[in-house]
Amino acid sequence: MAVSGHAQSFLTNGLVSYYPFNGNANDAFGTNNGTVQGAVLTTNRFGVTNAAYHFNGSSSYIDLGRPTNLQFYSNFTLSAWCLVSGGSAQNPRIISYCWGNGYELLTQGNGSSRAFQFISGNYSFNTTSNYSQGIWRAVATVYTNGICYFYVNGALVNSGANHAPVSFTNNLHIGNNSGTTSWDWWGGSIDDIRFYSRALSTNEVQMLYQYEAGGPQLSSAAVVLQLSTTNLVVGGSYQIQMSTNLVTWSNYGTPFIATSTNAPQYVNMKSSQGYFRILAAP
């Protein structure tokens, strides 16, 4: 098996806008800055102050205007960290771009335990499980070729057919329904929203979660090592291992299932040093 590595920033490949909410609602990667409407800065998942936004569930949101470069119709990815603590009587929105015709990321209902939901072109797709309030979670939806993939904390929790967005006639809102200002208010906190104009792979979503869950980051991009492999068996289980001396090896991350004969894997070089190899998992 051949293994080689080269530096690559998958985090910025196809990234259009990124909102780390570090003291403001500015777009840290693109030019789509937000206008805060009642939301207040709060502590993020790492305990850092003024590094996320809290929404009161009744009147606060962030308005991003109507950016044409976020009007996705085919392949795209939405990701965000969120903490639920209430919300309005309808279906509180995390991201909403043109209610009914564009795309939206939200929770279904406003109960103490609820599913996440993705709406695209007025067709909805849910997670199969409900999630309790009061816990920070990473949520990501990937839409590609008529299929929606739903991830929570980096794990694929559901996938299936869905429709593409059809039009964008309202502003893009974070924290409430973009088609109205009378319901669907988010109650809780939101952080680290990313908009990609491409469909991230399952491996990339897992890597994004590992990167963002590891601790406060100083930049919007990370250098990662891409392990390029050959002769993998599709459907086979493999394990990345790391060594500092080429003698003693330890497992890096969890085993993965090969989806192709050369399925690439990624190593976060901000927190890992040494040599890497990929072996068939027992």
What is the torsional sign of CA 231, 232, 235, 237?
positive
Structure tokens belonging to residue 75: 């392949």
Give the per-residue pLDDT at 272.
Answer: 57
Spell out the long-range contacts of 261-264 with Cβ–Cβ below 8 A and sequence spacing 24 or more.
Answer: 261/230, 261/231, 261/232, 261/233, 261/234, 262/228, 262/229, 262/230, 262/232, 263/203, 263/229, 263/232, 264/203, 264/226, 264/227, 264/228, 264/229
Nearest Cα to Cα of residue 160 among 125, 130, 186, 190 = 125
The string of pLDDT tens digits covering residues 59-85 is 999 999 999 999 999 999 999 999 998
Give the per-residue pLDDT at 225.
Answer: 67
> How much is the average pLDDT of 275-279?
81
The string of pLDDT tens digits covering residues 107-150 is 987 778 899 999 998 898 999 999 999 999 999 999 998 999 99
**Residue 211 backbone class (left: φ over 0; alpha: ψ -120 to 50; beta: rest):** alpha
> How much is the average pLDDT of 240-262?
78
pTM for the complete prediction? 0.75
SS3 40: strand
Name the residue with higher pLDDT: 97 or 99. 97
pLDDT(177) > 60:
yes
